[in-house]
């Protein structure tokens, strides 16, 4: 069955998002696009698992297992495959390229961009801060503590909207460790963050803003939208299936960005800001534009080129924390966001 593409958000949905700090939208991503992501990830797992078998660290590649269980079987014997996936090994076999084409197709999926445009405006930047999360049952790394995404971003973007689109590749239920959000918690400032386990930033309970904890199950094809100040976390996966999910981020091109674009007159930033970005370590890309369509990034190869030419900028050591990022490095373990 093909989902009916959503043509952006209604006025009511937009106000609900701004009021609550989050919104669930069903049937945004067409199933065949999610199937394509699962297929490409499976090909990567085939390769990584075969390497582990050859190194005698794994007894089998477990190729007969379904996508929702295979990594659990592998991880029971060796953590190396899942660790490489968490750390962004998905594209090692493309000569350092970074993005699976199927993932890029989701990043540029028109119905998803329609939703993002409803909130961020028509000149849209896709951030490279996209994450693929294989949340294996009872595996510690998938448990993400309370945080606001702005805890990771530069303070000058605190009051701007950087939209997180969290989308599962499988139905995400409470047992599988779907998202929890603090409804209304986005209304104030970015609160202090410290370091939790697995290098994720964490808001201590006493620093959590006022709000109502809401568990947010979402069906495959749906998206959970959050602001960058919305406190959120995810609970343990106590089911017997892997909660595969991705989180993507969008913002307006008028905000600080390192995307290689010609800024429009109305987008000029104060001196010294360009090419400052809300998250300088990773590359931004123009993903939709009516005013400079020739600069839009349209293929995974172009996206990879922007990413590989990007010179990671330093981040403000806002919480007195050690940097997660190494100059010249790529995504590193623990880049929780």
- The residue at minimum Cβ distance from ligand AKG is 234
Q: According to the binding rule CB under 6 A, does residue 117 interact with ligand AKG?
A: no
> Site for ligand AKG (CB under 6 A): how many residues?
10
> Taking CA 157 as the corner, what is the angle to CA 144 and CA 135, rounded to the nearest 5 degrees?
15
Site string for ligand AKG, 188-207 (x = CB under 6 A): --------------------
Least CB distance to ligand AKG at residue 178 (A): 8
Of these, 27, 149, 282, 284, which contacts ligand AKG (CB under 6 A)? 149
CB nearer to ligand AKG: pick between 72 and 245 = 245
Q: According to the binding rule CB under 6 A, does residue 186 interact with ligand AKG?
A: no
Site string for ligand AKG, 47-76 (x = CB under 6 A): ------------------------------
Site for ligand AKG in 215-234 (CB under 6 A): 232, 234
Site string for ligand AKG, 257-286 (x = CB under 6 A): ------------------------------
CB nearer to ligand AKG: pick between 84 and 234 = 234
Write phi, then psi, for 25 (nearest 5 degrees).
-120, 125
Q: According to the binding rule CB under 6 A, does residue 23 interact with ligand AKG?
A: no
> Taking CA 8 as the corner, what is the angle to CA 6 and CA 11, rounded to the nearest 5 degrees?
120
Distance of CA 337 to the CA centre of its chain: 8
**Cα-Cα-Cα-Cα dihedral sign, residues 147, 148, 152, 154:** negative
Of these, 80, 247, 282, 284, which contacts ligand AKG (CB under 6 A)? 247
CB nearer to ligand AKG: pick between 218 and 261 = 218
The closest of 86, 102, 131, 125 to 29, measured between CA atoms, is 102
Q: According to the binding rule CB under 6 A, does residue 144 interact with ligand AKG?
A: yes
- Cβ atoms of 119 and 54 within 8 Å: the answer is no
How many CB atoms are closer than 10 A to CB 206? 7
CB nearer to ligand AKG: pick between 166 and 279 = 166
Write phi, then psi, for 318 (nearest 5 degrees).
-70, -35
Q: According to the binding rule CB under 6 A, does residue 251 interact with ligand AKG?
A: no
CB nearer to ligand AKG: pick between 127 and 164 = 164
Q: How far apart are CA 250 and CA 107, in angstroms?
A: 9
CA distances from 111 to 7, 25, 80, 289, 322 (A): 6, 11, 36, 15, 38
Q: According to the binding rule CB under 6 A, does residue 248 interact with ligand AKG?
A: no
Q: How far apart are CA 154 and CA 201, in angstroms?
A: 14
Site for ligand AKG in 154-173 (CB under 6 A): 164, 166
CB nearer to ligand AKG: pick between 61 and 229 = 229
SS3 content of the chain, % helix, strand, coil (to 5): 30, 20, 50
Q: How far apart are CA 124 and CA 213, in angstroms?
A: 30
Write phi, then psi, for 108 (nearest 5 degrees).
-105, 15
Least CB distance to ligand AKG at residue 272 (A): 29
The footprint of ligand AKG (CB under 6 A) covers 133, 144, 149, 164, 166, 232, 234, 245, 247, 337
């Amino acid at each position: 069955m093909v989902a009916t593409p959503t043509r952006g958000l209604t006025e009511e949905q937009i106000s609900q998002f701004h009021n609550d700090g989050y919104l669930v939208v069903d049937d945004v991503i067409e199933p065949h696009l999610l199937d394509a992501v699962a297929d490409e990830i499976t090909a990567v797992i085939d390769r990584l698992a075969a390497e582990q078998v050859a190194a005698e660290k794994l007894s089998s590649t477990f190729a007969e297992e379904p996508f929702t269980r295979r990594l659990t079987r592998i991880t029971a014997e060796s953590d190396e495959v899942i660790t490489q996936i968490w750390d962004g090994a998905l594209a090692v076999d493309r000569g350092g390229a970074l993005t699976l084409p199927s993932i890029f197709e989701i990043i540029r999926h028109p119905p998803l961009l329609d939703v993002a445009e409803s909130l961020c405006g028509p000149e849209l930047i896709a951030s490279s801060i996209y994450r693929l999360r294989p949340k294996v049952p009872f595996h510690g790394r998938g448990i993400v503590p309370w945080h606001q995404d702005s805890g990771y971003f530069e303070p000058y973007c605190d009051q701007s909207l950087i939209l997180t689109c969290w989308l599962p590749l499988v139905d995400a239920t409470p047992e599988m460790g779907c998202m929890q959000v603090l409804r209304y918690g986005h209304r104030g400032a970015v609160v202090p963050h410290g370091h939790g386990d697995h290098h994720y930033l964490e808001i201590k309970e006493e620093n959590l803003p006022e709000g109502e904890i809401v568990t947010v199950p979402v069906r495959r094809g749906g998206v959970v939208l959050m602001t960058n100040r919305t406190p959120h976390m995810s609970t343990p996966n106590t089911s017997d299936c892997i909660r595969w999910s991705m989180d993507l981020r969008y913002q307006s091109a008028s905000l600080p960005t390192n995307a290689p674009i010609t800024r429009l007159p109305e987008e000029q930033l104060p001196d010294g800001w360009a090419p400052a970005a809300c998250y300088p370590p990773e590359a931004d890309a123009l993903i939709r534009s009516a005013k400079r369509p020739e600069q839009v990034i349209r293929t995974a190869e172009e996206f990879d080129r922007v990413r590989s030419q990007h010179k990671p900028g330093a981040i403000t050591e806002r919480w007195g924390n050690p940097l997660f990022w190494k100059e010249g490095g790529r995504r590193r373990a623990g880049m929780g966001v």
